[in-house]
Structure 1
Amino acid sequence: MPHDFQWSKGKAKKIELLLPRLKYSVYPTNIVQWLENFEKDEVEHMIDLLRVFEYIPFNELMFRLDILLNVIFKKFPNAEDRILIYPYGKVGKSGTLVTYPLRNTKAFKKRESEAKKMSKLSKNVDYNIITHDYEKITILDNVKCVIFLDDFVGSGDTFIKEYRKPDLKNWLKEMKISKVFLLASIVMESAVENILKHFSNVEIVAERRKKILPTITAAKFLFSDTKKVEDIVRKYGNSIPVKPPPNQYTPLGYGESESLVSFFYGTPNNTLPIFWGDSKWKPLFPRRSETKMDRAKIIKRDIKYYLSLFDKIGYDLLEGERIVGSLPDGRTDRFKEKNQQNHAVITLIYLMYLGLDTLIICQIIGLTREELNTVYKECRAKKLISTGNELTFKARSILQQLQKKKRKDSIRNETKYNLEIKKILYLPRSINGNT
């Protein structure tokens, strides 16, 4: 049964050490909420599992693609050997999402530059081609090889389905292309076996990963009880519906891939569902867009989101939030729980006091217009702004209270003199006693 997480020095330290492993992609509170899905005696085992979880942010994805792309380019050292990069799968899926980071890798840019110099092409013309519409490429385009592109290959089923398409087979034959690569940041070993069993001519260039259950058995030093970890994974995975009935449960991920991977834009369904499953479950790396958007709202309601702005203003945001929070607004407790944005309220009335328009306010706070309208409604409920969106006497009184408590030392005295670029270079006569 789920439980209330019991903090201790030891557990706090373990969670703190997990954050760099997870590239600071989640808050400690997110980890705690996820751990509360499990029973008390299962928590330590799940912390162990998190130690081998792989989260890939944007810059790391680009770094990995750069290394892997260089591997392929070394097999075609002549920059004039034109290459087609084909992000297979539906438009908008992970394959097409990877095209932007790949295009901006050092490897791709360098080859493009060298090819254009040799071919005397304009800087605005791409030499190597990245496209989903391979049918538009003809024999005259002089393509030497094709790179099928994806972010992650869990089972290999999607690639096999794509490569079997008659139109694609005919196109490869007409183009006389014999060399085909599959490029992905990560591929599961089981997927490699599956693909090569059907297409031995495809060369897979990717970081390889084993299924998690054999991995935890091999890395016994990381796990106090490998059998217990497996039992927990299956137990909860068999209770988290991730597909329509009758086969709504995939405790080991799609195709029993048993992967532990998530990207900055989403989590593959090959990853264990205990990390991304939804319903009544609290996921750590959700797949559902609704869950991810809800989490984004929560982050913006977090008081730390506004601290940097108030650090610049010099006001005490905590004091302002306390004053605003004490004001009655006539709403039910349930509605107030859903709209805990008192820190946003105090930020908004200050920016309105400065005379900034809605567009600028949205830009400064980092809110959408819809999110800002929610804050306006709360301001009106607390009688801080009028129906015509003007600051009330009560709002100005709060700002005056905060002004009195404003720190005397500003971050930077932005006078005209201080902002001038000085022509005088000051050099000290001595440093640490040395002349």
Structure 2
Amino acid sequence: MDINDIFIACADKWAKDELDDRINFALDNFDEWISNYDKEEKELLVKLLQNFDYYSHSSIVAIMEQLNLKILKEYGISSEDSVISVVRKADGKLNSSYEYWLLHRMISGFGKGMYCDSINDIAEEYWKNIHKVVYLDDCCGTGEQFTKFIKRQQKSFENKQIILVVIEAVEDAKSYIKSELAKQGLNVEIVVYNTKEKALKNMIQQEKKLFYKMSQKQEIFKDYVLGFEKAEALMAFYNNTPNDTLGLFWFMSKKNKPIFPRELEEKPGWKLSNEKKKRRSREQYESKCQ
């Protein structure tokens, strides 16, 4: 199969609901990206591309509406005993979970009182009346981020139903979350639009070796060759590409100009200025010590 034909077919699928800037970027940069690979390597990329999913904003809205109906029907989410929250980062920085949380608020029909970005802020007198806690996010690659997040919470989840709602998940991540949190006696359900196996799971050893060789040749940082914590995901979203995705598709290097580059987090000026001062002070100190 010709990889160019496969890519066009993939792009048509990704743009079914909307042809956005990220798809246009992939179309514009595909030829340069693929020029780095030989015939055998392109054949391997064909397999990966066919399983790669991209979600535009329009498709996410439609999917979120489906998932919302699902949690209403299967879990009876309501203002009577439910709260909808965010999978917050340990450092408190904004992440994709906030974006999907706000999007859900727009399409769900629920009042804003059901939405709380930190359950730790809920008074105990109200917390005892809550029986279902819904968390929203874009994806789940390994499950480690979510399990660590739950363990950081100050509130007790005893006798409560935890429901994680995501667009795409790797099968192993779902199993990991349920088994890991079950050790804490926690009841967790995972509602997913698209569940997939690890990208290299069904490849023969020769293909896996070739993939590693390709990634090394393209100078993909070793921690991201298989995605973060070896998630082996194949997905990208309108707002970013998760680092769970195989590095060839998003990791920028001198050799690799990916079709779905990950948005890098830039530090604000007020933080950089302090770091520059510290750096200058250290340099002045070191020069005096020489």
Is TM more than 0.5 here?
A: yes
Alignment-derived partner of residue 287 in structure 1: 262
List gaps (5 residues or longer) in structure 1. 1-9, 113-124, 218-225, 292-435
Alignment-derived partner of residue 422 in structure 1: none
What is the DSSP-based 3-state SS (H/G/I as helix, E as strand, rest coil) of the residue aligned with 2:201?
helix
The 1:241–1:28 alpha-carbon spacing in structure 2 relative to 1, beyond 3 Å, is closer
What is the DSSP-based 3-state SS (H/G/I as helix, E as strand, rest coil) of the residue aligned with 1:213?
coil
Alignment-derived partner of residue 10 in structure 2: 18
What is the DSSP-based 3-state SS (H/G/I as helix, E as strand, rest coil) of the residue aligned with 2:168?
strand
Does the 8 A contact of 1:233 with 1:252 survive in 2? no
Q: Identity over aligned residues, as a percent?
A: 24
**CA–CA distance in structure 2, aligned partners of residues 255 and 64 of structure 1:** 27
Alignment-derived partner of residue 204 in structure 1: 190
Query: Does residue 92 in structure 1 map to residue 76 in structure 2?
Result: no
Shift of 1:17: 2.4
Show the 5 A alignment for 1:176-215: 177-200=159-182, 201-206=187-192, 207-215=194-202
The 1:242–1:101 alpha-carbon spacing in structure 2 relative to 1, beyond 3 Å, is farther
Alignment-derived partner of residue 135 in structure 1: 120
**CA–CA distance in structure 2, aligned partners of residues 197 and 239 of structure 1:** 37
Shift of 1:241: 5.5
Shift of 1:147: 0.9
The amino acid across from 1:160 in the alignment is T
Cα displacement string for residues 334-373 of structure 1 (whole angstroms, at most 9, x for unaligned residues) = xxxxxxxxxxxxxxxxxxxxxxxxxxxxxxxxxxxxxxxx
The 1:241–1:99 alpha-carbon spacing in structure 2 relative to 1, beyond 3 Å, is farther
The amino acid across from 2:228 in the alignment is Y
Shift of 1:179: 1.0
What is the DSSP-based 3-state SS (H/G/I as helix, E as strand, rest coil) of the residue aligned with 1:181?
strand
The 1:153–1:13 alpha-carbon spacing in structure 2 relative to 1, beyond 3 Å, is closer
Does the 8 A contact of 1:183 with 1:205 survive in 2? yes
Cα displacement string for residues 185-230 of structure 1 (whole angstroms, at most 9, x for unaligned residues) = 1111111121122113211111321101125x4xxxxxxxx66643
The 1:101–1:241 alpha-carbon spacing in structure 2 relative to 1, beyond 3 Å, is farther
Aligned length, in residue pairs = 247
TM-score, reference length from structure 1: 0.52
What is the DSSP-based 3-state SS (H/G/I as helix, E as strand, rest coil) of the residue aligned with 1:238?
helix
List gaps (5 residues or longer) in structure 2. 267-290
What is the DSSP-based 3-state SS (H/G/I as helix, E as strand, rest coil) of the residue aligned with 2:226?
coil
Shift of 1:279: 1.6
Greater RCO (CA < 8 Å, at least 6 residues apart) = 2
The 1:137–1:253 alpha-carbon spacing in structure 2 relative to 1, beyond 3 Å, is same
**CA–CA distance in structure 2, aligned partners of residues 46 and 242 of structure 1:** 15
The 1:172–1:71 alpha-carbon spacing in structure 2 relative to 1, beyond 3 Å, is farther
Root-mean-square deviation (CA, aligned residues, Å) is 2.7
**CA–CA distance in structure 2, aligned partners of residues 253 and 204 of structure 1:** 22
Alignment-derived partner of residue 48 in structure 2: 49
The amino acid across from 2:117 in the alignment is H
The amino acid across from 2:190 in the alignment is I
**CA–CA distance in structure 2, aligned partners of residues 21 and 209 of structure 1:** 17
Bigger radius of gyration, 1 or 2? 1
Query: Does residue 146 in structure 1 map to residue 133 in structure 2?
Result: yes
